[in-house]
Amino acid sequence: MTFEQILTDITAVLGAIGVISTVLAHLPLPAKYAQFFARLATYAANTKFSVNQRDTLPKKDDEPKLPPFFPGGAAVLLAIGFAFHAQGCRPSKPPCDQTKLAAVVAVCTAKSQECVNEGKSEAECEALAQCDTKIAQACSGDANK
Amino acid sequence: MTELFEKLAKRPELVPAVTKIVEAFLAHEDPLLEAERQAEIIAAKALIRAPFKEPT
């Protein structure tokens, strides 16, 4: 890899950083971050290493070439995808705590049976309301609190 | 959608569970996970009420 190639690559990377920073600067982040990214974008956009690398190097037609928008285009796609993912997806609650749920069901079924043995109806069995609350707690995602 | 409303009309006790699933969807959470959770809650509630259903 020649010195000119390195400079060209650095320019390309700075361009990509500029694009990402521009996207980040428009996200609803705290003001100091937005300002930082905006400054970084301006810096990256203004920094250029002008070298005529393509004219000086011998052309190799058989070498696979990346599309002209790479890595800027890929960086934009990544940044947009990441921004949408971060904004669109929220971590879901964990599933029910199976151990706690099984324990609640076991205890509550026994209480329910007691109510039946005492001749109480479903509406009269006060333990059921408490059991419903305990079931909801076991499945609320903060069961281990 | 009409089918869902017809089913809910026949089983009104499922309305809170369906509401929770829709809420999860609107809050960008996983609705399938919420559906699983609601199914477990319904099953557990049915299980603890089983003694009342059994013929004595």
Which contiguous run of DSSP H or E holds residue B2? Answer: helix B2-10
Encode pLDDT of B18-51 as tens digits. Answer: 898 999 889 888 889 889 999 999 999 999 999 9
Who wins on pLDDT, A59 or A137?
A137
- Give CA torsion, residues A51, A57, A59, A63, to 10 deg: -90
The reported pLDDT for the residue numbered A55 is 53
From chain A, the residues in CB contact with B23 under 8 A are: none
Is residue A88 predicted with pLDDT exceeding 60? Answer: no
CB contact under 8 A, A95 and B41: no
Structure tokens, B53: 């259903």
Lowest mean pLDDT among A40-44, A140-144, B1-5, B47-51: A140-144
CB contact under 8 A, A139 and B49: no
Encode pLDDT of A10-28 as tens digits. Answer: 767 767 776 676 666 666 6
Which residues of chain B from 1 to 20 reach within 8 Å of chain A, CB to CB?
A: none
Tell me the range of A13-22, A51-60, B2-11 where mean pLDDT is highest.
B2-11
Amino acid A96 reads C
Q: Which residues contact A113 (CB under 8 A, 6 or more apart)?
A: B51
Who wins on pLDDT, A37 or A104?
A104
The reported pLDDT for the residue numbered A145 is 46
Distance in Å, alpha carbon of B43 to nearest chain A alpha carbon: 10
Mean pLDDT of all residues in A44-64: 60
B24 to chain A: nearest residue by CA? A92
Of all residues in chain A, what percent carry a pLDDT higher than 70?
39
CB pairs under 8 A between A and B: 64
B36 to chain A: nearest residue by CA? A95
CB contact under 8 A, A96 and B27: no
